[in-house]
Amino acid sequence: MKHRKPRALNKSDNDKKKILELHEAGNKPGEIHRYFNGKYSYWQIYNTINPRDKSSIIVDKEGNVKSVKVNADKTVTEMPDVDLSDFTSIDKFIEHQLTVILAQLNEKKLTLEKRTFLIKHITEINKKLKAQTLEQYLKNGNARIIINIMRRLKPDISDEEIIIIFKEETEKVKKLNN
């Protein structure tokens, strides 16, 4: 006969507080699970310590999809003061801004949908920025031919790899001419 898993109990506020205190004292979820003698499942304890972002969509008992208002942090980020002369180009400044935004986004409490939306847009901006950087290197007429040769020899080469190789080879040629 198959042994049934016991039904998980709802945690009391006191037990939630105790779980967090034990965690802050350096105990791992498995140790806290043993402390409560299996009263709560490992995952209940883990999720109490590491709460997940709530989704703005839930399914009710009848299977109907409903939208729920989630209290999430505002996505406004504060940018640190920087000296614009530290950046050699506007592309470098935008790259810096994207890095700062991603670091702050990681600390925000957002719905899954909002986080996915923001990461998708940041990825698109980064892709356009890389294409722009490559375009700057293409100003030289021979560069376009060289890039086509690189892509023919290695079709899966990324724009970043092309830029790095192009920079390295340009420096080598400059040194030979001097």
Counted domains in the chain: 2
Residue 122 falls inside a structural domain: yes
Model confidence at 53: pLDDT above 60: no
Percent of the chain as helix, strand, coil, to the nearest 5: 60, 5, 35
pLDDT tens-digit readout, 63-122: 777 766 655 555 556 666 667 777 777 777 888 888 877 777 777 777 778 788 888 988
Q: 8 versus 59: which is more confidently predicted? A: 59
User: What percentage of the chain exceeds 90 in pLDDT?
Assistant: 2
Same domain as 101, residue 55: no
Annotate 47-113 with DSSP letters as a single string.
HHHSPPPPPSEEE-TTS-EEE----------PPPP--GGG-SSHHHHHHHHHHHHHHHHHHS---HH
Instruction: Find the domain containing 23 and state its range.
Output: 13-67
Find the mean pLDDT for residues 19-31. 87
Q: Do 45 and 18 have their domain in common?
A: yes
Taking only the tens place, the pLDDT of each residue in 59-73 is 677 777 776 665 555
Q: Is the pLDDT of residue 158 over 80?
A: yes
Examine residue 54 and state whether it is found in any structural domain, yes or no. yes
The answer to the question of residue 76 being in a domain is no
> Do 167 and 89 fall into the same domain?
yes
Q: Are residues 55 and 140 in the same domain?
A: no
Examine residue 148 and state whether it is found in any structural domain, yes or no: yes
Q: Does residue 43 fall inside a structural domain?
A: yes
Note whether residue 4 is domain-resident: no
pLDDT at 47: 78
Residue 177 scores a pLDDT above 70: yes
96 in a structural domain:
yes
Is 48 found in the same domain as 126?
no
Same domain? For 48 and 133 the reply is: no
From 67, 92, 113, the end of a domain falls on 67
Please determine, for residue 154, whether its predicted confidence score (pLDDT) is greater than 70: yes
Q: What is the mean pLDDT of the chain?
A: 76
| Contact (CB, 8 A) for 96 and 80 | no
